[in-house]
């Protein structure tokens, strides 16, 4: 063996033996310190109320995924993912790997902190304010830490939903839930029956949005991609009136006309009321989800409608996997994106590449988010929120470090971008001081 070969072999052995670095170790240390020090605004999550075991909380989502047919789960989201052990250690000082024991350690933390528990969880995640996408708020979710984002989907499905529910078992569950939620909105408005005309129905829709705003809502959420594709047309009011007046079980085409009209109406009213419209735009949970129908490009005609220019559209989950289209859409004056759940769908390294593209292109439109939500008793919104917040900070740190090393930005700008993504962009979007 020649000298060169010996040296090469030695190098090879040395490189094999080198400890594998966690991606976090590759983040510039000053950027890392700033990102972990900053108290974030979480643009999208499903925190749970401080409830006792006898008072289960079913209002953390209008379409709870636990009611869906069993389906394969993305690897990092799967509750068996050992990365969640880090959450148990960090939040509850539980160092083992047993799900049941972890759940017990969590129960103790809940008992110890009572109504202060949800805000205590935010403190552990270094999250200042979490947008709580819930049907209703409740105990332990104070408005200074948890801001309400209710659901508007039910408002665009006012007719008989039986035929839509026949498409697959998940939609059957979902449309059953939406029909019930619309009934709840009607009774909260003091109405015992559906209004007889479209104009009457539109007045009811406005009353729901105004009431939710008065009760503290800061945005409205559509998870409509679980129900139908995002390809909203622009039908005339006359056509929508005809379908509404006919009632009964509409044909799919007629019902789409009415839904399209109502979606635009809700979006327009949200613009008038200063409520940004959150839209689930991401491959969704379950095995029947229409991935192609969740492409944010399908909504381009709404973004470009001069009548909707005052409406702020926030593409929740940032359109994954349609990152190219989402990137281009950020150039619209009324479009934002958060990267909630991408934090758990892909690795921090892959997410950092998406963030880098967005930050190079439209840095004031990018929002931090976790999509913290319950999966099992041991992996609840606390654990998914912890892992998502850690991964989201890792991805942001990796993106800024790469931009710094390529001399695209200096340290001052890196710090500014970190603050924008973690806090300032959200503050500007929602008009907070
Ligand atoms: Zn969500």
> What is the tens place of the pLDDT at every residue in 229-277?
999 999 999 999 999 999 999 999 999 999 999 999 999 999 999 999 9
Using alpha carbons, select from 282, 303, 302, 300 the residue that is nearest to residue 292.
282
pLDDT surpassing 90 at residue 67: no
Question: Which residue did the predictor score with more confidence, 21 or 80?
Answer: 80
How many angstroms is it from 282 CA to the middle of ligand 1? 10
pLDDT surpassing 70 at residue 41: yes
pLDDT surpassing 90 at residue 12: no
- Position 16 scores a pLDDT of 54
Six-digit token pair at 85? 């052990």
pLDDT surpassing 60 at residue 17: no
**Strands (E) located in 287-333:** 313-316
How many angstroms is it from 196 CA to the middle of ligand 1? 34
d(CA 143, CA 290): 35
How many angstroms is it from 371 CA to the middle of ligand 1? 5
> What is the tens place of the pLDDT at every residue in 172-201?
999 999 999 999 999 999 999 999 999 999
Q: Supply the DSSP string of 358-379, one letter for each residue.
A: HHHH-GGGEE--------SSSS
Predicted TM-score (pTM) of the model is 0.94
Reported as a pLDDT band with limits 50, 70 and 90, residue 53 is low
How many angstroms is it from 152 CA to the middle of ligand 1? 14
- Position 31 scores a pLDDT of 98
DSSP, res 260? H
Reported as a pLDDT band with limits 50, 70 and 90, residue 164 is very high
* Residue 361 neighbours by CB distance under 10 Å: 13
> Residue range 3-22: average pLDDT?
57
How many angstroms is it from 245 CA to the middle of ligand 1? 34
- Around ion ligand 1, residues with a beta carbon closer than 5 Å are 371
Question: Which residue did the predictor score with more confidence, 1 or 192?
Answer: 192
- The structural domains of the chain, ordered by start, are 28-430 (3.20.20.140)
- Position 54 scores a pLDDT of 65
Please provide the average confidence, as pLDDT, over all residues in the chain. Answer: 94
DSSP, res 310? T
Reported as a pLDDT band with limits 50, 70 and 90, residue 63 is confident
How many angstroms is it from 182 CA to the middle of ligand 1? 20
> Residue range 321-349: average pLDDT?
98
d(CA 411, CA 31): 8
- Position 291 scores a pLDDT of 97
- Position 131 scores a pLDDT of 98
Cα angle 402, 405, 410 (rounded to 5 degrees) comes to: 100
How many angstroms is it from 46 CA to the middle of ligand 1? 6
Residue pair 319/282 in contact (Cβ under 8 Å)? The answer is yes
Reported as a pLDDT band with limits 50, 70 and 90, residue 2 is very low
- Position 55 scores a pLDDT of 74
- Position 18 scores a pLDDT of 61
pLDDT surpassing 80 at residue 379: yes
């Amino acid at each position: 063996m020649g000298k060169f070969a010996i040296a090469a072999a030695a190098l090879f052995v040395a490189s094999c033996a080198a400890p594998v670095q966690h991606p976090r170790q590759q983040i510039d240390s000053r950027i890392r310190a700033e990102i972990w020090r900053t108290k974030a605004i979480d643009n999208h999550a499903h925190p749970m109320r401080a409830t006792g075991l006898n008072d289960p909380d079913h209002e953390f989502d209008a379409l709870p995924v636990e009611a869906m047919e069993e389906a394969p789960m993305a690897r990092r989201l799967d509750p068996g993912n050992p990365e969640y052990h880090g959450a148990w250690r960090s939040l509850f000082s539980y160092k083992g790997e047993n799900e049941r024991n972890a759940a017990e350690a969590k129960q103790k933390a809940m008992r110890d902190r009572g109504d202060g528990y949800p805000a205590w969880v935010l403190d552990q995640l270094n999250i200042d304010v979490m947008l709580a996408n819930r049907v209703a708020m409740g105990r332990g979710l104070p408005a200074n830490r948890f801001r309400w984002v209710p659901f508007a989907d039910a408002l665009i499905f006012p007719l008989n939903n039986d035929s839509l529910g026949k498409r697959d078992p998940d939609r059957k569950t979902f449309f059953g839930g939406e029909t019930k939620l619309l009934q709840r909105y009607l009774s909260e408005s003091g109405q015992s029956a559906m209004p007889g005309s479209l104009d009457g129905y539109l007045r009811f829709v406005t009353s729901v949005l105004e009431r939710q705003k008065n009760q503290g809502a800061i945005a409205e959420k559509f998870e409509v991609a679980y129900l139908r594709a995002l390809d909203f047309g622009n039908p005339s009011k006359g056509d929508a009136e005809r379908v509404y007046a006919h009632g009964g079980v509409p044909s799919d085409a007629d019902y789409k006309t009415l839904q399209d009209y109502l979606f635009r109406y809700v979006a327009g009213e949200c613009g008038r009321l200063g409520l940004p419209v959150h839209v689930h735009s991401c491959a969704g949970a379950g095995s029947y989800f229409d991935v192609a129908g969740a492409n944010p490009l399908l909504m381009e005609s709404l973004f470009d409608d001069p009548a909707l220019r005052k409406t702020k559209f926030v593409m929740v989950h940032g359109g994954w996997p349609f990152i190219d289209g989402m990137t281009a859409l950020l150039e619209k004056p009324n479009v934002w994106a958060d990267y909630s759940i991408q934090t758990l769908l892909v690795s921090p390294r892959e997410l950092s590449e998406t963030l880098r593209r967005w930050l190079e292109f439209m840095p004031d439109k990018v929002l931090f988010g976790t999509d913290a939500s319950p999966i099992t008793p041991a992996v609840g919104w606390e654990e998914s929120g912890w892992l998502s917040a850690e991964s989201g900070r890792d991805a942001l740190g990796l993106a800024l470090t790469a931009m710094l090393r390529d001399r695209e930005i200096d340290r001052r700008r890196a710090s500014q971008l970190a603050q924008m993504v973690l806090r300032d962009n959200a503050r500007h979007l929602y008009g907070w001081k």
